[in-house]
């Protein structure tokens, strides 16, 4: 197991390098000048040129990227923000807590609602409950996060006045963002749970368990669900990784001071070090989540554990 984990961590290095290079190149090609954003459009050309030289922006593209890569690998430093002149790592760590909490709450909502609904839909296939659930799940997958967030604000904040529409300091402020961000994951997990359960329910060992007189709850929750967990775990891990990166619009709509909102503000100002830091945070988080899911496989299915050893 330790060799497998070490191998996955080492494979993360080329992923980080590739992601950083692509983002660095895209920001290089995008219009705008970070120096003008800092000093203003009417700044003295001499001051602009001096600041560009001080920030190293006059160097060629590959030289600047090589310098960034060297600092990241050797010094474990992502540089300083062009705007605030504070270390990027410190700023991201300050903003990471709301983003991680929001993603964790959203995936918790998705698991609590998605798995039971998917199980019931599979057991009662083609029933009214199943048909209605699948239609709602399809709508949930197609519904944009920003649109659902605005609808929730209009209903629960503006019309009913039950929940706040911004902030992230209390539990009441976390409810609407978690529902808006987790709605799509609820639909995806519901559909995957239903599909996986339908495959297992029709298998021979389920018919054997029923023939032995096992209670239906035991057959479904123990025998069927246990064998259907692998694709469900994969979906949960993928959704959690996507929630970390997909929290951008949710954080902007609900004024949450997280990594997603920091990324949007940094892109507007062409703050290259901060944008790179935010995207690398999402990429590393996604890779760690996938690694944890792979390890959980060994606890769900002992046959997988033998492959790690």
Output the DSSP codes for 45-109: HHHHHHHHHHHTTTS-HHHHHHHHHHHHHTS----B-TTT-SBHHHHHHHHHHHHHHHHHHHHHH
Angstrom distance (rounded) from CA 77 to CA 9: 19
Are the CB atoms for 191 and 137 separated by under 8 Å? Answer: yes
Is residue 50 located within the same domain as residue 119? Answer: no
Are the CB atoms for 181 and 246 separated by under 8 Å? Answer: yes
Flag whether pLDDT at 48 surpasses 90: no
Angstrom distance (rounded) from CA 274 to CA 13: 19
CATH number, domain containing residue 107? 1.10.3720.10
What pLDDT does 305 receive? 56
What pLDDT does 301 receive? 65
Is residue 264 located within the same domain as residue 220? Answer: yes
| Per-residue tokens: 258 | 């997280």
Residue 86 lies in a domain: no
What pLDDT does 302 receive? 62
Neighbours of 216 (CB within 10 A): 10
Flag whether pLDDT at 128 surpasses 90: yes
Using DSSP, state whether 33 is helix, strand or coil.
Answer: coil
Confidence of residue 116 (pLDDT cuts 50, 70, 90): very high
| Domain-ending residue, one of 73, 104, 129 | 73
Angstrom distance (rounded) from CA 145 to CA 152: 11
Instruction: Summarize the confidence of residues 85-99 as an average pLDDT.
Output: 87
Is residue 67 located within the same domain as residue 102? Answer: no
What pLDDT does 170 receive? 85
What pLDDT does 227 receive? 80
Flag whether pLDDT at 129 surpasses 80: yes
The pLDDT tens digits of the residues spanning 188-235 come to: 999 999 998 888 888 877 888 778 877 878 888 877 887 888 888 888
176 vs 78, more confident: 176
State the residue range of the domain holding 167: 96-308
Is residue 9 located within the same domain as residue 116? Answer: no
Residue 129 lies in a domain: yes
Angstrom distance (rounded) from CA 61 to CA 73: 18
How many domains would you assign to the chain? 2
Residue 87 lies in a domain: no
Is residue 30 located within the same domain as residue 107? Answer: no
Is residue 187 located within the same domain as residue 118? Answer: yes
Is residue 180 located within the same domain as residue 301? Answer: yes
Is residue 179 located within the same domain as residue 41? Answer: no
Is residue 222 located within the same domain as residue 186? Answer: yes
Are the CB atoms for 276 and 23 separated by under 8 Å? Answer: yes
Residue 58 lies in a domain: yes
What pLDDT does 53 receive? 79
176-191 b/e (C-beta count within 10 Å ≥ 16 → b) = bbbbbbbbbbbbbbbb
Angstrom distance (rounded) from CA 74 to CA 65: 14
Confidence of residue 247 (pLDDT cuts 50, 70, 90): confident
What pLDDT does 264 receive? 84
Is residue 147 located within the same domain as residue 253? Answer: yes
Residue 50 lies in a domain: yes
- For the chain, how many residues are written? 309
Return phi, psi of residue 80, to 5°. -110, 150
Residue 253 lies in a domain: yes
């Amino acid at each position: 197991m330790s060799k497998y984990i070490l191998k996955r961590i080492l494979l993360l290095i080329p992923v980080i390098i590739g992601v950083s290079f692509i983002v660095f190149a895209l920001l290089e090609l995008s219009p705008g000048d970070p120096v003008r954003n800092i000093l203003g459009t009417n700044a003295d050309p001499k001051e602009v040129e001096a600041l560009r030289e001080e920030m190293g922006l006059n160097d060629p593209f590959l030289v600047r990227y090589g310098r960034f890569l060297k600092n990241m690998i050797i010094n474990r430093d992502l540089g300083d923000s062009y705007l605030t002149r504070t270390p990027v790592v410190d700023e991201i760590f300050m903003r990471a807590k709301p983003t991680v909490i929001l993603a964790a709450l959203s995936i918790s909502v998705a698991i609590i609602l998605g798995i039971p609904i998917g199980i019931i839909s599979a057991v009662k296939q083609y029933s009214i409950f199943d048909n209605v659930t699948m239609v709602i799940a399809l709508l949930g997958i197609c519904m944009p996060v920003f649109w659902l967030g605005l609808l929730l604000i209009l209903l629960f904040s503006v019309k009913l006045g039950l929940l706040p529409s911004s902030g992230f300091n209390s539990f009441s402020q976390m409810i609407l963002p978690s529902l808006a961000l987790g709605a799509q994951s609820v639909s995806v997990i519901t559909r995957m749970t239903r599909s996986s359960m339908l495959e297992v329910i029709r298998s021979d060992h389920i018919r054997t368990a029923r023939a032995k007189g096992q209670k239906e709850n035991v057959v479904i929750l123990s025998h069927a669900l246990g064998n259907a967990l692998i694709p469900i775990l994969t979906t949960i891990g993928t959704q959690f990784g996507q929630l970390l990166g997909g929290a951008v619009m949710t954080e902007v709509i609900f004024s949450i001071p997280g990594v997603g909102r920091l990324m949007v503000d940094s892109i507007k100002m062409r703050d290259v070090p901060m944008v790179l830091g935010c995207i690398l945070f999402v990429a590393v988080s996604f890779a760690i989540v996938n690694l944890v899911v792979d390890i959980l496989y060994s606890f769900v299915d002992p046959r997988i554990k033998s492959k790690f050893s």
